[in-house]
């Protein structure tokens, strides 16, 4: 059943690989857009096979991690290195509203799919392009994934080091895969929808570009800008905020308070942790004092000893009673069975052949009018090639000839 959402009636062509482009169009598909995923004939999107690296199934009809990003789409398999393949792509774009890609600009140019070409052929088309380092400068054509262009180049990864006094230099924390990609995908969808509104009014398309590097800089703008005023990273434990640091508890779990409004909540915090004797003490009432290592370091050690006296769940109950912000650190495994995630339908159980079921993650955008959309597994490579080619005007003989030539493929 088609999804009746705020993007119903919008046709989107995706030409991508791995995560960023696919994440953007998955969100669009869940809002009702008709998303056609264009893949090569030599195995398709590399992300189809990637889940094998973590031991997940990668079968045609059972690929849960791939489905996270590609549910509710259709697939066309075509060789874009051939003139006939490019012509098919043009036919798809002719009736499309949006073209989403994370192929580098140089590669798009080789196929005649760069924006300079497309804006002449399809003036109303909105193109969304995810890149690595931006459209200008010495690194504009440099390849980049989220761990390099987003995490490493922006200062994000280096800033996540947490050194402890007396220990060797800490190794930068390895960042979770795809967080940068999916952050950029969210920004790209926002830009695309803004451009779509303008295109509908004016008849003029646009290109929206979101680079991993630039998006990471925007996400860390407080940190980067703040370095001019002494707000430096990486932080050591000794100069981390004691009011927003994780603490190891009696049961081996981590608990993290978060006191943002210091003036309002400091006394409640001191009371919650059993340090009422600090209330009214002048030096503990000035937030900037905790930026000084000589003052902050012993306080951190004091709090480490305090939080070690109770379990993380006990601290959660105490902070809840004071209406203070807090959280226990969850594992990814715990997230899949978290009541809060389940009741909000962030978790979806996908049923596969042979009675297998796996939990997948829904996109978090919600439309009151649409409600929860039905989720259909991601398409098999070339599963919809013939039907889509027929829709854009190819005859049965033309389709069979291109299949025989290897220009396109249809999943059996």
Q: Considering 97, 181, 206, 265, which one is annotated as catalytic?
A: 181
What size, in residues, is the chain? 412
- Whole-number Cα distances in Å, 333 to 63, 88, 330: 19, 43, 8
- The Cα 19–Cα 50 span in angstroms is 11
Three-state SS sequence of the chain: CCCCCCCCCCEEEEECCCCHHHHHHHHHHHCCCEEEEEECCCCCCHHHCHHHHHCCCCECCECHHHHHHHCCCEEEEECCCCHHHHHHHHHHHHCCCEEEECCCHHHHHHHCCCHHHHHHHCCCCEEEEEECCCCCCCCCCCCCCHHHHHHHCCCCCHHHCCECCCCCCCCCCCCCCCHHHHHHHHHHHHHHHHHHHHHHHHCCCEEEEEEHHHHHHHHCHHHHHHHHHCCCCCCEHHHCCCCCCCEECCCCCEEEECCCCHHHHHHHHHHHCCCHHHCCCHHHHCHHHHHCHHHHHHHHHHHHHHHCCCCHHHHHHHHHHCCCCEEECCCHHHHCCCHHHHHCCCEEEEECHHHCEEEEECCCCCCCCCCCCCCCCCCCCCCCHHHHHHHCCCCHHHHHHHHHHCCEECCC
Closest CA to 104 of 186, 212, 12, 199: 212
Active site residue 181: yes
Active centre residues (catalytic): 181
């Amino acid at each position: 059943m088609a999804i009746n959402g705020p993007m119903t009636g919008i046709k989107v062509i995706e030409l991508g690989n791995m995560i960023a482009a696919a994440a953007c169009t998955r969100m669009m598909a869940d809002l009702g857009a008709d998303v056609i995923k264009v893949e090569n004939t030599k195995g398709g999107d590399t992300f189809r096979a990637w889940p094998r690296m973590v031991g997940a199934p990668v079968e045609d009809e059972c690929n849960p991690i791939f489905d996270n990003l590609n549910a509710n789409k259709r697939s066309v398999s075509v060789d874009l290195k051939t003139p006939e393949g490019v012509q098919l792509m043009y036919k798809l774009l002719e009736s499309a509203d949006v073209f989403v890609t994370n192929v580098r600009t140089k590669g798009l140019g080789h196929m005649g799919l760069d924006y300079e070409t497309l804006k002449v052929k399809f003036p109303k088309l909105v193109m969304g392009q995810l890149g690595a380092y931006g459209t200008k400068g010495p690194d504009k054509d440099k390849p980049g994934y989220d761990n390099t262009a987003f995490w490493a180049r922006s200062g994000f990864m280096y800033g996540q080091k947490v050194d402890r006094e007396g220990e060797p230099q800490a190794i930068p924390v390895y960042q979770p895969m795809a967080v940068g990609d999916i952050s950029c995908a969210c920004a790209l969808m926002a830009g695309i929808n803004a451009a779509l509104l303008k295109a509908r009014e004016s008849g003029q398309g646009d290109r929206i570009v979101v680079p991993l590097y630039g998006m990471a800089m925007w996400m860390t703008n407080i940190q980067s800008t703040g370095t001019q005023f002494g707000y430096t990273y990486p932080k050591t434990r000794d100069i981390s905020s004691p009011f927003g640091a994780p603490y190891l508890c009696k049961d081996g779990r981590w608990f993290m308070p978060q006191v943002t409004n210091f003036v309002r909540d400091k006394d409640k915090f001191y009371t919650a942790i059993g340090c009422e004797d600090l209330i009214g003490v002048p030096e503990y009432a000035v937030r900037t004092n905790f930026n000084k290592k000589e003052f902050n370091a012993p306080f951190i050690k004091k709090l480490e000893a305090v939080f070690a006296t109770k379990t993380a769940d006990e601290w959660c109950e105490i902070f809840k009673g004071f209406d203070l912000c807090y959280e226990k650190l969850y594992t990814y495994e715990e997230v899949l069975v978290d009541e809060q995630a389940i009741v909000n339908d962030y978790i979806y159980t996908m049923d596969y052949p042979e009675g297998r079921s796996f939990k997948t993650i829904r996109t978090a955008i919600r439309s009151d009018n649409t409600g929860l959309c039905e989720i259909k597994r991601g398409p098999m490579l070339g599963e919809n090639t013939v039907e889509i080619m027929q829709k854009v005007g190819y005859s049965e003989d033309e389709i069979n000839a291109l299949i025989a030539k290897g220009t396109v493929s249809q999943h059996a």
